[in-house]
Amino acid sequence: MEIYRAHVLVCKGTGCVASGSEPIFETLQKEIEKKGLDKEVKVIQTGCLGLCELGPNILIYPEGSYYCQVKAEDVPEIVEEHLLKGRVVQRLLYKEPDSKERYRSLMDIDFYKRQKRIALRNCGIINPEIIEEYIANDGYAALAKALTDMKPQEVIDEVKKSGLRGRGGGGFPTGIKWQFAANAEGDIKYVVCNADEGDPGAFMDRSILEGDPHSVLEAMAIAGYAIGASEGYIYVRAEYPIAVKRLEIAIEQARDRGLLGKNILGTDFSFDIFIRLGSGAFVCGEETALLASIEGRRGEPRPRPPFPANKGLWGKPTIINNVETYANIPVIILKGADWFNEIGSEKSKGTKVFAIGGKINHTGLVEIPMGTTLREVIYDIGGGIPNNKKFKAVQTGGPSGGCIPADLLDMPIEFDTLVQAGSMMGSGGMIVMDEDNCMVDIAKFFLTFTQEESCGKCPPCRIGTKRMLEILERITNGEGKEGDIELLENLAKSIKASSLCGLGQTAPNPVLSTLRYFRDEYEAHIKDKKCPAGACKALIHYEIIADKCKGCGICIKVCPTQAITGERRQPHVIDVDKCIKCNSCFDRCPFGAIVKI
């Protein structure tokens, strides 16, 4: 076996590939070979490290040096200085936004220190395309333990005892779901993995599939053993090409190694897994629509009961769990429910992965114990709001969730607390908004998404969301009428009560939660025809404050419609009729002389 004195890990998750990690990977290999270090230094591709915004990311062990925003031109310097001479390249090391200090090791930085990585335990550590690296980190040991030391019922009991709840949206207790399927009559049963991640901004499932695909395969095999199934299906979006490729490689390797297929590990348990590609319809994340799509029918939900645990894929008892839920299973089996129970809070056990985005310094992926407060996630891990702006709200649960305002920042993140606040855990998207975001506009944005994604099967969702959206459009265009708020509330309640599936039942949530916490903004739009945040174009116009304007001419240059005129060193003026409200002058004025009114 080869021994390498240094490992260079290059993130090849979608985020870093998009910012250019592939040429870096190749240049690294070439440079290392050129310097004759290829027998000592190994270059490894790995999954998402979480700080996607700072990609492409590179980690060098044994030092654990964390280089971010690396360019291909930087590679020769890294090889010459760090790998040949042992001098860490200071200028490329990670730096906290508010400090001058550069951090040598990944684990020293605030973004990682406060995380607890269970579902993401292997992401950024192993090469996802080599099964041995997964096995080295106790991979497939949980499957071995289940198959040889535990009866199927004991596996289910362990999952029940762990208190694990579904990480995909609903938060249903996983063990109980398994029990239903195990109890259901039938000789053929199925295990399905829901990897149809559709919430705008959420990408934890993609990152797990890209960074640690075997953890999902192992968990599905364990689930198959527990309920008595011998086939599993992974329904994954075709828009996730890297995830699909890594899954295919992983399945192939697991079959070659006899960890999938007939008589796994010499026992009489047989299990195999197949991939089905989805075409990105949001509704296919709903379990009955997903099953219909796997069967080759149109992706539309059907009424429940019967639940999939009794009548699922091709009418057979089926369990459907989300990717992140599965990623927790091997650890629970291996370390025990009691270990898992210790993590998290009283009612919500374990950890949750969040994709943080919007107005925040560190956009990326974090895994935190349940019960962590929103403030810790947004300020301590996420690094706070950029440009010293004021925090206004955070949207959790994507288009099915709701906005949580600033006075609830100290609320612990749990399934129940989020629901009480009018939002939900959802799949774990977290979009941060600052004072420049208009809450009516945000509600309109999310409703536009769900309205477009409504499959059209049931009228409340198909017609109701359309009507709600029309009202919101009216309000943001300055044409809101007295009674619009009440009408919105009425429609929202009816849609929630009468829609067929989760999509419609949760679609009004963004509107209801913004009405609950930011009703005054709606009223300002309707009564005063003003947008307090200055975001709704129809309700604002731009003016130049003559006292502050130095007549520098920058705004004249950036204005695309020649709407600004004025002599040099004299106050300029905006022609409101020509102005298209593109915000360019506002962004560029060095003196803050331009205002939105």
Partner 1 sequence: MPVIKSIEDLKKIRDQAKDQINLRVDNESKTRVVVGMGTCGIAAGARQVMLAILEELKKRNVSDVIVTEAGCIGLCQYEPLVDVIKPDRPKVTYVNMNPDKAREIVVKHIINDQVVDEYVVPNI
The beta strand positions in 429-507, using DSSP E, are 429-434
Among 29, 137, 341, 583, binds partner 1 (CB under 8 A): 137
270 lines the binding site for partner 1 (CB under 8 A): no
Rounded CA-CA distance 106/471 in Å is 48
Q: What is the residue-wise DSSP string for 301-346?
A: ---SSSPTTTS-GGGS-EEEEEHHHHHHHHHHHHH-HHHHHHSB-S
Tell whether the torsion through CA atoms of 482, 483, 484 and 489 is positive or negative. positive
Among 22, 26, 63, 436, binds partner 1 (CB under 8 A): 63
Do 227 and 153 touch, CB atoms closer than 8 A?
no
Rank residues 136 and 546 by Cβ distance to partner 1 and give the closer one. 136
Reference 359, options 333, 332, 379, 334; nearest CA is 379
335 lines the binding site for partner 1 (CB under 8 A): no
136 lines the binding site for partner 1 (CB under 8 A): yes
Rank residues 41 and 377 by Cβ distance to partner 1 and give the closer one. 41
In angstroms, what is the minimal distance from the CB of 255 to partner 1?
9
**CB-count exposure of residue 87 (10 Å: 0-12, 13-18, 19+):** exposed
Q: Are strands 272-278 and 231-237 parallel, antiparallel or unpaired?
A: parallel
**CB-count exposure of residue 234 (10 Å: 0-12, 13-18, 19+):** buried
What are the φ/ψ torsions at residue 286 (nearest 5 degrees)?
A: -75, 135
In angstroms, what is the minimal distance from the CB of 201 to partner 1?
30
Among 23, 90, 97, 132, binds partner 1 (CB under 8 A): 132
What's the one-letter identity of residue 32? Answer: I
61 lines the binding site for partner 1 (CB under 8 A): yes
Among 98, 100, 266, 486, binds partner 1 (CB under 8 A): 266
9 lines the binding site for partner 1 (CB under 8 A): yes
Rank residues 146 and 191 by Cβ distance to partner 1 and give the closer one. 146
85 lines the binding site for partner 1 (CB under 8 A): yes
In angstroms, what is the minimal distance from the CB of 245 to partner 1?
19
10 lines the binding site for partner 1 (CB under 8 A): no
91 lines the binding site for partner 1 (CB under 8 A): no
Q: Which two tokens stand for residue 119?
A: 């579902």
- Cα atoms in the 13 Å half-sphere on the side-chain side of 294: 27
Among 11, 49, 125, 471, binds partner 1 (CB under 8 A): 125
Among 23, 97, 241, 258, binds partner 1 (CB under 8 A): 258
Among 94, 140, 190, 203, binds partner 1 (CB under 8 A): 140
Size of the site for partner 1 (CB under 8 A): 38
- Please compute Rg for the chain using Cα positions: 26
In angstroms, what is the minimal distance from the CB of 579 to partner 1?
56
Task: Give the interface segment with partner 1, choosing from 85-93, 152-160, 351-359, 416-424 (CB under 8 A).
Answer: 85-93
Q: Which two tokens stand for residue 575?
A: 């022609």
Alpha helix (H) residue ranges in 408-461: 415-420, 439-453, 459
In angstroms, what is the minimal distance from the CB of 9 to partner 1?
7
Name residue 65's beta-bridge partners: 60, 105
Rounded CA-CA distance 360/366 in Å is 13
Among 72, 84, 343, 579, binds partner 1 (CB under 8 A): 84
In angstroms, what is the minimal distance from the CB of 62 to partner 1?
4
Rank residues 133 and 414 by Cβ distance to partner 1 and give the closer one. 133
Rounded CA-CA distance 488/506 in Å is 14
248 lines the binding site for partner 1 (CB under 8 A): no
Task: Give the interface segment with partner 1, choosing from 243-251, 259-267, 419-427, 568-576 (CB under 8 A).
Answer: 259-267
Token match 């730096």: residue?
A: 95
Rounded CA-CA distance 593/543 in Å is 8
Binding site residues, partner 1, CB under 8 A: 1-7, 9, 39-40, 61-64, 84-87, 125-126, 132-133, 135-141, 144, 148, 253, 256-259, 265-266
